[in-house]
Every structure is written in structure tokens, then in C-alpha cells.
Amino acid sequence: MKRPNSTPGEGLTRGRQAIDHLDRELVRLLAERMEAVQEIADFKRQNPDAPLRDDGRERELFEVWSREAVGKGLSGYFAGRVLREILNWSRREQERQLRPKADEAGVGTVRVGFQGVPACYSDLAITKLFETRDHAGLERQGFRSFEAAVDALEAGEVDYALLPIENTIAGSINEVYDLLARRNVTIVGEEILDVEHCLVALPGTKLEDVRVVRSHPVALQQCGEFLDNLVGAVAESYHDTAGAARSIAVEKAVDVAAIASEESAQHYGLTVLKRRVHDQRENMTRFLLIAREPEAFDQRHPSKTSLLLSVNHRQGALLACLQAFADQGVNLTKLESRPQAGTPWEYLFYLDIEGRVNEPAVATALEELRAHTNRLKVLGSYPRCVSVDGAVPVSTPKSAANGLHSANGANGANGANGANGAAATSMPKVPAAPKKNKALKLAGPREDGSRTRVRVGNVEIGGTEFVLMSGPCAVESREQVLEAAAMVKACGARILRGGAFKPRSSPYSFQGLGFEGLDMLREAGRAYEMPVVTEVLRIEDASRIAERADMMQVGARNMQNFALLRELGRLDRPVLLKRGMSATIDEVLMAAEYIMDAGNNQVILCERGIRTFETATRATLDVSAVPVLKSRTHLPVIVDPSHAAGVRDLVLPLALAATAAGADGLIVEAHPRPAEALCDKDQALTREDLEELIHALRPIVAAQGRTSSF
């Protein structure tokens, strides 16, 4: 009620003064409350068994606040919203206190890369996220693209990269998923940012003046309805939301507006023409904090693990993978498919699950997954961003069973394949091995005795079909490799081999044609509908070779090049691993373990002869290695008789012996004119030799109950 002798203006002034005083009191009380929160955090830090959250206590607080609010004539819902935000920041403060302190961890100024310019949404998310991460200082560096930010991270120019991964309106940001699949980085945190898109422009610009609206393509997508109703204006893609706002300020364009945050408008001296122009009321973006190495965090914190996998190309494999989570009670919160580059109609799957990789249930589920996957990569285990009521802000399935239902649909729609990555074949039974290497967590035999089948293009190795791989030692010319491909195809070979990069004992010998030769090999393979395999020598070349070859070969000299093995483990290509010239059975299996531990389960072992005191042959073919390996691993085993023999006349009998011993296939060298070959001419088979080999193989393969293409 207005006081006597007071004017309306005086009442407004007194009201605002009262609000200013109360606001200061609210801030003071919030600061006191956070001090009490820090005491609770100190207690929890000193008592690791104390729970991080007390759900009962939080429910009581909501009841008290609601009751008190109603008693004061306020809305209980309004009071609950305020309390929820207070509790969220109280929880975040406790999490910060439970992390290692900056001086304890040796943390100095933290450098964070992001895509965009100052005041963009990624920049705002950095501010929010690092409020709960201890640091001595924070430096931000904007990049024009997501890839450039990850490049800087891998080069050590920044300590972290913060990248958006999905939005509640626009969905997933596929470019970021592709980067996570290809790069050697890990997820260490996440943040959820409420996004309020505003239409911003130069001061004085009116809504009816706008003829162009600039913004990032994802932001334009989120505001489609608004843009459709903005008469006379067209959308224009820009690399960043805040960058679009900055461009208007620089150009002083009076008929151009940007869709960006209110903070970016303030930063670049613009005005807001309209708020909340996005199509849906709830507009949230999930960001991932990316680092070079995993980071430890308090085990009491709710956690999430992100995975990438590709399944075996058989019916039901995706369902079997998801069933592994259901069997262990692991909650699946996200499942999404992406096409695999270079392999039409096959898919990579991205999954988020609740829990850490070192939790028993998660670890068991991941172990079961390996029987059904070609590739399994843990993208990271990290603290899960949750609201105070425990709900994940981004809409997710509530149970592993829900994930199974959506997985069935994905499997049917995408043709995603595979049931048991390892159906037993009708091969002669192999006696139990005399010993078992307990270090073989991935490459060792499975309890159910099942065996892995590796798919190379349209050819499956390790199943019921006996597979012949053949071709020249080296790719010498386009004409030579095309002629060789025609020859081996006509004789029944299923996979074309050829060396583009040649590791030679003498520096003066032919070293191969490199990537030019690889392109010729690929052309020949496509011309005669054969997948191709070639050797990789250097880590630097691995990803480029994987783009062209269907299978990558690790030669005997590189069997224990562990850095190379790990790099191949990060790629989604089958790997043909040759036994080293002086390697034991266990050593070749441990080499396979390196590849599989890095995420690639598509490994084929190859016996190619070992160095002994005998000099009658180039190497001594260890035929016994075939049944021994079969008993000690679930991986396919093939044999290379060419490098063991070193001379043409011995290749055939050694090949027959290896086949009779139970090999899943052979890889033999063949050349249209061996006398003209630039390397290994003495062991290369002619067309007549290949035909003789095929004729002799048929009864052996048939006696084992296997099929073949010859």
C-alpha cells in the first residue's frame, strides 16, 4: 500500500532498494551455505566410505522448503526450483573438493581448446565445467574446427579439448564421434549446458530489417521453425555461433542478424532482437572433455563409460553384445550407429553405459563383448553429469532392457550382423594344450571352445571355408599386378596379396612402389572382386594404408614392434600377424594381445617358418605350430609356406602339410613370370604350380569337412 505523501516514483525506488538489500543478504547466505558444504566435503574426503550423496536428506530438504514456502504464501514449485539449483552447485563443489588439489597434483595453468571464438557456447561450457575442476589458472584457445582442436591436443599445445557431442534438438554431432573413433584421445569428463539461442544484431536494427541470419549449421537446424516464419530472411551457415555475432560487429552489417547466446551479444556490442528462438523449450547440449590420458576420479561419483564397437558380420551379434550388458545389470544409456568408411552397409556403434571399466560387472560385460565384436574401443570412463534428482539431463533409456529393444531395431534396419563371433567348425579335434598362458586375457582360448571368424571384405577366415590368399611378393607395375590378380583369381584364390612397401635385408634391393603400388593393388583387387592384403612397416603410414587395404599385414620383422601393434589395434581393419623368425608360440600370442588390447579383435595368426640351425631351407616351417596355436587361442591360423621354403619346389608339399595340420588358409606367392620378379623370384609359383596346388588341396580340404572356392 502506498504511503501518504509519497509519489509513485518514490515507491519504486524504495522497492528496488529493498530488493538490492535482500539480494545482498541472499548472496551472503549462499556463501555461508557453501562454507558449510566445504566442511561436509572435507569430511567425505577424509572418510572414503562415506557416500557421496544422501538421497534421503535431499528429499527431506525439498519437503521442508516446499512446506515453508507454502506457509509464506509462495509457490512450492518455485522454491523447489531454487533449491534444486543450490543443491546442484553444492554437489559440484563437493566433487571439486574431492579431486586432487592443484598443488598436490602439480596442476598449473590449464589450457583448454574449443571450436569457436570467445563467448561461444563451448566457451560458456568451459566456464561452467572448470568451476568444479581445481586449477591455478585457465587459458582458453579457440580453433576454427573440431579437428584442429584435437590436433592441438595431440600435439600437446593444449591440455584438454571441449567438444559438443549431442543436442536435445539436433541430435548427435557426427564429426566429433568420427574424431573420437580415429584419434588416440580419451574422454575424462562431460558437461550439460542449457542453450538459449537469441537473435542478435547491431543496435538499432529491427526484426523486420533482417535479411540474412548467420549461425553454425547445428544452431540453424535447432531454430528451423523460427527461420521459416522470418519473412524475407535467408539462413547463412557460419563456422561458429559467436563467430557469426562477431562478424556482424566487424562488418557493421545492419541487415544481418546472428543466432547466438546473449553473452556473445554483450561481448561483441550487439543487441538482442528476440530470445529463445529455438524450436523446442528444452535445448541442451552435452559437451565432452577430451584429454590425452585417462584421469582418476572419486570412485563414489556416478560414472559413465563411452564405447565404440563394430560387430561380427553375422545375424544377432549386436543383440548378443547388448545382452552381455543386460546379463551383468549394466545400464545402457545411449546407442547410436554410424556408417563405416570404406565398407558400405556396415556400421560402427557408439554406446554409453553407466559405470567404470574397472567395475566387475562392466569388466565382465566387456570381456563377453569381445567374442562378438571386430573392434572394441573404450573412449573413456569419466564422472557422469547428473542433476540433483539423479536424472541425466539428456533423454536416455532407463534400463538395459530398453537398450535391447532399440538394438533389435538397429540390427534389423542396419543389417548389423553377427551372433556368435565364433561358431565351431567341423575341423579335426585338437588335443588340449599342455600349458595355458594366464597373461592371454584376450587372445587365449575361450571357455566354451568357440573360435573367432575374421571377415576380410566379403571373405570369412576361421569358419568352415578354407581360404587361399595369393599374389606377387611385390607390386612392380600396374600391368603386372592386374595380370597376377587375374591368374590367382582363376585358380581359386579369394584374397589378393601384394607388397607395396618391402622391408629388404639389403638396402640396394627393390623397396616397393609405396602408396602408388598400393593404389595399383587396390585397383587390381576391385577389378577382380578380391579384397587385398599388404604389409605395413611404419606407424605413420598405418591409417593411410587402412584406407586402401582390406587387411594389414605385420611382417616377421615387426612382430614385436609394440608401438606399431598398438596403432593397428586402434584401426578398424583386420590384421594378419606373422610369427617372428625366432619367436615362440607364446610370444606371437602376446603380440596378438597387444593388438586386441588396443581394441581390434580382428587378428589372424600366420606361421611362416622360424630360424633354426638347419640351412637346407630358407626357414624351418613349424607345422606343429598350427595345432598348438589352435589349442591356445580362438584366433584363426593360416600358414605361409613360401617364405619358409624359399624355393618353388618345396612350397607345394609344405602347403599340403600345413593344410592337413588344420590351417584355416594359406598365403602363397605367385607371379605371372617369376623369372622377371624383382624380389623372391625363386619361391614364386607359376600358374601351373598354382593349379597343381589346388588339385592336391581339394581332397584334404574335403576330408576335413570344409568348403573352398576351388
pLDDT, tens digit, for every residue of 692-708?
999 999 999 999 999 99
- Predicted confidence at residue 471, as pLDDT, reads 96
Q: CB neighbours (10 Å) of residue 617?
A: 15
- Predicted confidence at residue 435, as pLDDT, reads 52
Whether the pLDDT of residue 390 is over 80: the answer is no
Q: What backbone phi and psi angles, to 5 degrees, belong to 405?
A: -65, -45
Q: Residue 114 — pLDDT band, cuts 50, 70, 90?
A: very high
- Predicted confidence at residue 182, as pLDDT, reads 87
- Burial class (CB within 10 angstroms; exposed 0-12, middle 13-18, buried 19+) of 296: exposed
Domains of the chain (ranges; CATH) run 52-98 (no CATH), 102-187 (3.40.190.10), 198-277 (3.40.190.10), 297-414 (3.30.70.260), 454-703 (3.20.20.70)
Q: Residue 41 — pLDDT band, cuts 50, 70, 90?
A: confident
Between these two residues, 652 and 53, which has the higher pLDDT value? 652
- Calpha distance 554→544 (Å, rounded): 15
- Predicted confidence at residue 401, as pLDDT, reads 35
- Predicted confidence at residue 422, as pLDDT, reads 37
Name the one residue in this structure whose C-alpha cell is 584363426.
636
Residues 6+ apart with CB under 8 A from 268: 119, 242, 245, 246, 248, 249
Whether the pLDDT of residue 33 is over 70: the answer is yes
- Predicted confidence at residue 408, as pLDDT, reads 33
Whether the pLDDT of residue 36 is over 80: the answer is yes
pLDDT, tens digit, for every residue of 653-700?
999 999 999 999 999 999 999 999 888 888 999 999 999 999 999 999
Q: Residue 467 — pLDDT band, cuts 50, 70, 90?
A: very high
- Burial class (CB within 10 angstroms; exposed 0-12, middle 13-18, buried 19+) of 285: buried
CA atoms within 13 A on the CB side of 216: 23
Mean pLDDT of 365-383: 91
User: Is residue 526 within 8 Å of 482, Cβ to Cβ?
Assistant: no
- Calpha distance 478→487 (Å, rounded): 14
Mean pLDDT of 204-228: 93
- Predicted confidence at residue 88, as pLDDT, reads 75
Q: How far is CA 146 from the centre of its chain?
A: 15
Q: Is 378 helix (H, G, I), strand (E, B) or coil?
A: strand
The least confident of 150-164, 188-202, 291-305, 380-394 is 380-394
Q: How far is CA 658 from the centre of its chain?
A: 38
Whole-prediction pTM value? Answer: 0.71
- Predicted confidence at residue 424, as pLDDT, reads 35
pLDDT, tens digit, for every residue of 397-452?
333 333 333 333 333 333 333 333 333 334 444 444 445 567 888 999 988 888 99
Between these two residues, 245 and 82, which has the higher pLDDT value? 245
Evaluated on CA atoms 230, 235, 240, 243, the torsion sign reads negative
Whether the pLDDT of residue 508 is over 80: the answer is no
User: Is residue 491 within 8 Å of 691, Cβ to Cβ?
Assistant: yes
Q: CB neighbours (10 Å) of residue 2?
A: 9
- Predicted confidence at residue 411, as pLDDT, reads 35
CA atoms within 13 A on the CB side of 94: 25
- Predicted confidence at residue 342, as pLDDT, reads 67
Percent of the chain whose predicted confidence (pLDDT) is above 70? 89
Q: Residue 69 — pLDDT band, cuts 50, 70, 90?
A: confident
Whether the pLDDT of residue 273 is over 60: the answer is yes
- Predicted confidence at residue 407, as pLDDT, reads 36
Averaged confidence pLDDT in the chain: 86
Whether the pLDDT of residue 395 is over 70: the answer is no
Whether the pLDDT of residue 48 is over 80: the answer is no
Nearest to 490 by CA among 648, 670, 710: 710
* Beta pairing partners, 378: 307
- Predicted confidence at residue 421, as pLDDT, reads 37
Mean pLDDT of 274-292: 92
pLDDT, tens digit, for every residue of 572-597?
899 999 999 999 999 999 999 999 99
Whether the pLDDT of residue 506 is over 50: the answer is yes
Between these two residues, 230 and 38, which has the higher pLDDT value? 230
User: Is residue 517 within 8 Å of 475, Cβ to Cβ?
Assistant: yes
> C-alpha distances in angstroms, 178 versus 48, 269, 430, 562, 589?
38, 36, 42, 25, 30
Give the catalytic positions in this structure.
285, 287
Q: What are the grid coordinates assigned to 195, written together?
A: 542453450
- Predicted confidence at residue 99, as pLDDT, reads 67
Q: What are the grid coordinates assigned to 229, written together?
A: 516464419
The least confident of 2-16, 188-202, 269-283, 376-390 is 2-16
First to last CA, the chain: 100
- Predicted confidence at residue 6, as pLDDT, reads 61
Q: Residue 495 — pLDDT band, cuts 50, 70, 90?
A: very high
- Predicted confidence at residue 439, as pLDDT, reads 80
Q: Are strands 271-274 and 198-201 parallel, antiparallel or unpaired?
A: antiparallel
Q: Residue 106 — pLDDT band, cuts 50, 70, 90?
A: low
- Burial class (CB within 10 angstroms; exposed 0-12, middle 13-18, buried 19+) of 203: exposed
- Predicted confidence at residue 101, as pLDDT, reads 57
Whether the pLDDT of residue 122 is over 90: the answer is yes
